[in-house]
Amino acid sequence: MLSVIIPSYHDHLLQPTIDSLLENSEGVIEIIPVLDGYLPEVPLKKVFQVKPVYLKENRGMRGAMNAGLCASNGDFIMKSDSHCMFAPGYDVELTKSCADNWLMIPRRYSLDDDNWKRNDARPIYDYHYFRFPSDSRYGHSLSVVPCSHRSSRRKDPKYNIDDTMTFQGSCWFANKRYFMDHVGFLDDRVETYGTFAGDQPEIGLKYWLNGGETKVNKNTWYAHLNKAKRHYEAGVYGKQFKIHKNTLAGHTWAAKHWMNNEEPGMMHTLDWLIEKFWPIPGWEDNWKEIWKSYEL
């Protein structure tokens, strides 16, 4: 069985997302929407596969994800944002092709939310890389960037399931037992990653650096809403995401933690992953010296 965990906070597209997961599944699934400190204005449809978790207080994406993990019963887990649609048979394709130690990411399209369909006019996202953590509006962050040059070079069908350095975070799939043994509950302490961001380095690097792998699966897909100015101006979402002080601190903490190889118990250092995907845009040959020059 597949457990789909959906952290949600006041998202009007949660029900369409649940409907898409149900309508396009071909195997046994349960869907666990985690309502993070709120009740939807329109109650969710009562379907036996849908098992909502209601949190009394807002805990952030990381806390909501952990609550979903606690409630999940599947052999596999999948995290989805609350504004996505899915390909027919997504669940069967992912469960049959995902090795125990793989974190698997479906091919990502953009969502046309007005017409609730895949937007084929926008780019396809298969591969991502970590940006070198120089100072930016996100702090010294291992932020995630689409890797278009890798996409252009790996169009042959033999790359339909392929290595990717990291992932965008709106959807991922894994064997639950391996995930809990090698990643476990997300660290949602304010003094580390914080409550919201940094799941890509925490999850992805715990896979790559401890014997696992992260793969893109181009044989299936999902379409994810990229929130735009029009959504906020129309009041579809309450307010545009603001980069709070604690979020900046979390980004910088994560960059320092992984760049300095401070995570205990890893089989590899970050250098190993950098070499595996070299050359990486924005990373200079002397990246170690550049990093050491920052006074963080």
The 10s digit of each residue's pLDDT in 95-115 is: 999 999 999 999 999 999 999
Mean pLDDT to the nearest integer, 227-251: 64
In this prediction, residue 241 carries a pLDDT of: 46
| Tokens standing for residue 2 | 């597949």
Q: What is the number of domains present in the chain?
A: 1
User: What pLDDT digit, counting tens, does each position of 118-152 carry?
Assistant: 999 999 999 999 999 987 776 789 999 999 999 99
Q: Where are the beta strands (DSSP E) in the chain?
A: 2-8, 29-36, 53-55, 76-80, 84-86, 102-112, 117-119, 128-130, 144-146, 161-163, 171-175, 213-224
Give the pLDDT band of residue 295 (cuts 50, 70, 90).
Answer: confident
User: What pLDDT digit, counting tens, does each position of 19-57 carry?
Assistant: 999 999 999 999 999 999 999 999 999 999 999 999 999
End-to-end CA distance of the chain: 45
Is residue 117 over pLDDT 60?
A: yes
In this prediction, residue 239 carries a pLDDT of: 52
For residue 148, what are the domain limits?
2-293
User: What pLDDT digit, counting tens, does each position of 62-82 carry?
Assistant: 999 999 999 999 999 999 999
The overall average pLDDT reported for the chain is 93
Burial 140-159 (b: 16+ CB within 10 A, else e): bbbbbbbbeebbeebeeeeb
Quick check: 204 and 167 in contact, CB under 8 A? Answer: yes
Is residue 240 over pLDDT 50?
A: no
User: What pLDDT digit, counting tens, does each position of 156-186 carry?
Assistant: 999 999 999 999 999 999 999 999 999 999 9
Q: Cα separation of 225 and 116, whole Å?
A: 10
User: What pLDDT digit, counting tens, does each position of 211-233 carry?
Assistant: 999 999 999 999 999 876 666 55
User: What is the domain-level CATH number for residue 160?
Assistant: 3.90.550.10
Q: What percent of the chain has pLDDT over 90?
A: 85
In this prediction, residue 196 carries a pLDDT of: 86
Is residue 247 over pLDDT 90?
A: no
Give the pLDDT band of residue 58 (cuts 50, 70, 90).
Answer: very high
